[in-house]
Chain A
Amino acid sequence: MKKRFNWGYLVSLLLSVLLAFAIGAVILVIAGFDPLQAYAAMVDGAFSNARHIGDFLEYAMVLCLTGLACVLGSRVGIFNVGGEGQLLLGAVVSCQVGVWLAGYSAWIAIPAAALAAMAVGGFYALIPGWLKVKVKVNEVITTIMLNTIAASICQYLAKGPWKNTNKNMVAATEKLDPRFWFKTLIPGSGLSTAIVAAVVITFLTWYVMQKTSVGYEMKLTGQNPRFAFFSGIKTDRIVIVCMVISGAMCGLVGMFRVYGVEHLYRSSISNQYYFEGLTVAMIAHYDPVTVIFLSFFFAVLKIGAQGMELSAGVPNQIYLIIQTVIIFFMAAESGIFASLRAGSQRRKARADIRRKEGEGHA
């Protein structure tokens, strides 16, 4: 079970990142910016003050949890593209639960809201999971479509039945009772006590996947479901359960965004955050530990790019360019490495033949 450290992966990741920055630099030069100055501004944007550090930690938390939610599905061979919808629903429902429980103690309201977020996110993932297992409907299609439906439902709730009483604000729920807000750890930033829960969840997810018998069964199911079923694993159940947990995690991220940062629900609660987490999971080749590290990296990049836009006037879309190029190279990586390896082996085999012939003639 021991997996040797994959140096090849690390090297290609670093190379991809370097190349991405190089290509980003070329584009910056073409656009008339000084790339060194821009990148310096980017680093500055992430680390220059405590507020920015708090922001990138909060964003790293979101990336890490959504990324792991995606890994959890892919581990059992199901690709959860529907995390965005699960996240939004978790956010709006947990927020409204908080609104309803306004008079109660935070000890009742917050757990109730967390349970509601997980339940609704989990249920929303159960639908495609169940369809996949029972009727073999492709989960990628169902989850993508359910995303759109979820966004519309949330929009309707925030504009309609659960809309706040403030006439000026459109499409947002009532603000939460301040007693329910997660305590902000760095003033002015989005970093709240939710990070503690996130660390615990991250650890548990990693532990279950990497260290337990259930994690082993998940892996087997993802690798070859027929073989897993053959060796006695209840594959249908394991796929559905993992999908539900994946959805529950996304729902919880939605709740963290509401209770930790926004304190009410509006659509800006998530700006395609799940897809960014999914991207991280893909770049990490669905390895949980790598997801954790890369979450920090991309969070620095994103928050830094926002700072760069303010200080150096460089559009923060440069972040998207760099991220996309990294994905591109990481996707090409396995192919490039395989062809290099095959080439060198073929050369070696040819040399062996030549050498043998040389000996034969001597």
Chain B
Amino acid sequence: MDEIAVRFEHVSMAFPGVLANDDVSLDIRKGEVFALVGENGAGKSTLMNVLYGINTPTDGKVFIRGQEVTDFDPKTAISMGVGMVHQHFMLVPSFTVAQNIVLSREPRRGRIFFDNAAAERKTRELVEEYGLEVDPAAPVEELSVGLQQRVEILKTLYRGAEILILDEPTAVLTPQETEELFAVIRRVVRDRGMTVIIITHKLYEVMAISDRVGVMRKGRLVGVRDTADVDEKTLASMMVGRPMLYDELEKTGVPGEELIRVRDLAVRDNRGLLAVDHLSLSVRAGEVLGIAAIEGNGQSELLEAITGMRKPESGTVTIRGADATGKSPGEIRAMGLAHVPEDRLATGLSRDGTVTENLLAGKQRQSQFNRFGFHQRTSTVERYARELYEKFDIRGAGTDVTAGSMSGGNMQKVVIAREFSFDAPVLIVAQPTRGVDVGAIEFIHGQIIDRRNHGCAILLCSADLDEVFRLSDRIITLYEGKITGEFTGPFSKEEIGYRMTGSRQDEKEAAV
């Protein structure tokens, strides 16, 4: 148990303008589950990318099972027994499970021809050896996310990994799938003596799975503890560097009139498949309706159809009593809707535009920014941008720099600042805190609840289930474009997780 699997000695990793890892020294023991936690940008992934050979450290040494790493290259890392499962899977969707697993080390017939039968045989052996049930002949694109992850793990095992790095493995999983993953981790550690390093920012998972935990903050390793000796509160304080109070949010007022009404809405996705399947819902003033769904179950298309970014196929959308079906985003915004989109880089911002330009978007025709209806009042615009910058606690090099030069969390604050300052009675909020650090999450959650308490109707969608639980008054679960359940607090994680995988709520009809 005390054998050292991985040793980092004074490892520093500098990128232009950032010191992502600052003098990190860490030993990871063979046969343990080591959790690495920290806020976004704390340097967890950077450190693991050093271990996997993607990054060459600026300074310091790395030893894998006592052997110093001289050549930082994933190939070398793999040959030294390191395997990594990235947040975004690196699988070929049209290939079968077996083909994906043997990729780059394919069994061949006569040196030239790919031997599919051997690939499937080897995969089956692997599946049986580790007890990771999956059909070797199934195309990967037909598998659920949880099973795809399993394929990724099998791939690293096929390559002989003894040290397994999992980068935020549970981000895309349902609670049930997470449980299954943890069972797999426990099994490979117990039966095979593998070492597992798991990067996460969900603290209850740390408590559930790990033997030891390392906390990173601003590139430094601020502490390593036996999991048994700490609790979630302590870890959270270590992560942010100050005592963390995850206060109850104060929700006041009673729901008022219905502001969003969706009736029998059908929407197709980019591939032309029915993503939203004749769905109905409604949100009232002073209410947060949360959508709990695994990625790709129609929630993106639903929000796009409501906000005008995508044309629905049939059904109606009504915003504050007026028909908004198939209207343009501009027309729908004029009805009193603001929208925090799920993808800030593609939709929510102009990276090449200045912070000021990004904060102004959508308000440029308001008379306070516009003399004679065309001449832009530059100084008013600049003053307004600086006010928002202060009010929403955006931290960066001021309002004159391009939005693309800021960190993800601050970009998100720019989006939130702009959309929330419309004072729109209807808010569509998707992934409000994706890639945002703990301190900013508190702030953004506070803003959302503040809008709610002021009588906003808010439709919220987030991949972070805890966020949905925390903010919502009501939750609907979505599976393959249909509502599979509706819940009012107190929410049961098990029940909601169950509905997210497609089991329909009995008898009770979903939505209003």
Binding site for B on A (CB under 8 A): 1-4, 211-217, 219-220, 223-224, 226-234, 341-342, 345-346, 349-350, 352-353, 356-357
Report the Cα distance A356→B23, complex, angstroms.
10
Would you call A1 and B361 a contact (CB within 8 A)? no
Q: Note all chain B residues with C-beta closer than 8 A to A357.
A: 10, 23
Per-position binary interface string of chain B over residues 361-402, scored 1 when its CB falls under 8 Å from any chain A CB and 0 otherwise: 110110001100011101001100000000000000000100
Would you call A1 and B309 a contact (CB within 8 A)? no
Which chain B residues (17-61) contact chain A, with CB distance < 8 Å?
17-19, 22-23, 58-59
- B300 interface residue per 8 A CB criterion: no
> Contacts A229-B329, A232-B329 given: A212-B374 contact, CB under 8 Å?
yes
Report the Cα distance A244→B18, complex, angstroms.
46
Q: Note all chain B residues with C-beta closer than 8 A to A223.
A: 350-353
Would you call B364 and A216 a contact (CB within 8 A)? yes
Per-position binary interface string of chain B over residues 394-419, scored 1 when its CB falls under 8 Å from any chain A CB and 0 otherwise: 00000010000000000000000000
| Sample of 16 further A-B pairs with CB below 8 A, known A1-B376, A352-B14 | A1-B382, A212-B374, A212-B376, A213-B364, A216-B360, A219-B357, A220-B353, A223-B353, A224-B349, A224-B350, A224-B351, A230-B347, A232-B330, A232-B362, A346-B14, A353-B22
Per-position binary interface string of chain B over residues 339-365, scored 1 when its CB falls under 8 Å from any chain A CB and 0 otherwise: 101000011111111101100111011
Q: Note all chain A residues with C-beta closer than 8 A to B447.
A: none
How many residues of chain B have a CB within 8 Å of chain A? 46
Would you call B376 and A353 a contact (CB within 8 A)? no
Least distance between A46 CB and chain B CB atoms (Å): 37
Those 3 A-B pairs whose CB atoms lie nearest each other, nearest first: A232-B330, A349-B14, A231-B361
Partner among A217, A227, A356 whose Cβ is within 8 Å of the Cβ of B349: A227
> Contacts A349-B19, A353-B59, A357-B23 given: A220-B357 contact, CB under 8 Å?
yes
- B200 interface residue per 8 A CB criterion: no
Report the Cα distance A219→B351, complex, angstroms.
12
Least distance between B8 CB and chain A CB atoms (Å): 15
Partner among A217, A232, A349 whose Cβ is within 8 Å of the Cβ of B333: A232
Least distance between B10 CB and chain A CB atoms (Å): 8
Identify the closest chain A residue to B378 (Cβ).
A1
Report the Cα distance A219→B361, complex, angstroms.
11
Partner among B16, B307, B357, B375 whose Cβ is within 8 Å of the Cβ of A346: B16
Partner among B14, B353, B374, B400 whose Cβ is within 8 Å of the Cβ of A213: B374
Would you call B333 and A350 a contact (CB within 8 A)? no
Identify the closest chain B residue to A229 (Cβ).
B329
Q: Note all chain A residues with C-beta closer than 8 A to B374.
A: 212-214
Partner among A230, A345, A353, A356 whose Cβ is within 8 Å of the Cβ of B348: A230
Report the Cα distance A227→B349, complex, angstroms.
6
26 residue pairs from A and B, CB less than 8 Å apart: A1-B376, A212-B376, A213-B370, A216-B360, A219-B353, A220-B350, A220-B361, A227-B346, A227-B348, A228-B361, A229-B309, A229-B328, A230-B309, A230-B339, A232-B333, A232-B334, A342-B16, A345-B16, A345-B17, A346-B58, A349-B15, A349-B16, A350-B59, A353-B23, A353-B58, A357-B10
Least distance between B221 CB and chain A CB atoms (Å): 15
Report the Cα distance A211→B348, complex, angstroms.
24
Report the Cα distance A214→B346, complex, angstroms.
22
Q: Note all chain A residues with C-beta closer than 8 A to B17.
A: 345, 349
Identify the closest chain B residue to A214 (Cβ).
B374
Least distance between B20 CB and chain A CB atoms (Å): 10
- B195 interface residue per 8 A CB criterion: no
> Contacts A231-B362, A234-B330 given: A1-B14 contact, CB under 8 Å?
no
Q: Note all chain B residues with C-beta closer than 8 A to A230.
A: 307, 309, 329, 339, 341, 347-348
Report the Cα distance A349→B347, complex, angstroms.
34
Q: Which of B19, B22, B350 is the most central at the interface, judged by chain A CB atoms within 10 Å of its CB?
A: B350
